[in-house]
Amino acid sequence: MSDIICITNRKLCRGDFLTRIERIAAAHPRAIVLREKDLPKSEYSVLAAEVMRICGRYGTPCILHSFYRTAAALGAERIHLPLQALRELTDKDREHFAVIGASCHSVEDAQEAERLGAAYITLGHIFATDCKRGLAPRGLGLLGEVCGAVEIPVYAIGGISPDNVASVRAAGASGACIMSGLMTCDDPENYLRGVETHEI
């Protein structure tokens, strides 16, 4: 099974967004996280329903992001949340989801997310990335610390590419999240395979 999670960004997407989602889903990453946080809830809901249908056709897990009540209304089984939103989830909210993930940026964040019931976390940003221009990357040292501090899977995010993905695995991560590469590459399947198989 792939250890790469696709994070979407329709503003970076080259070509039609849903066509690219279909090509990525067909390549079977670990999951696709629909991250379009700038959309109003109503528009996110419409897009999420389409992406869930596409992912369902290929058996690729679809993880909705941030809008947990919208996700529940759509019958989504998976949600990814900023840590603050995870803190605010009620027991009733949690009942809707089989898998809850959280975005973390420190050892303390990761340990709190684990205590709050997260099934996995993303940790970033690990490497320099245009998405976080001007912000220093947190680096492989922190990634290793976090992986050693929690029992749940940790997925590195931020600046991940075929050239450095092996180093995040070596630091103890369960895998990595990729946004820009999968949104802009010519061939998502080949790109994904290249990231999955790259070794030190």
Catalytic one of 65, 80, 96, 125: 125
Active site (annotated) includes residue 125: yes
* Per-residue tokens: 92: 């009733």
Q: Parallel, antiparallel, or unpaired: how do β-strands 154-157 and 175-178 relate?
A: parallel
Rounded CA gap, 116 and 132, in Å? 27
Q: Which two tokens stand for residue 196?
A: 């999955």
Enumerate the active-site residues. Answer: 125
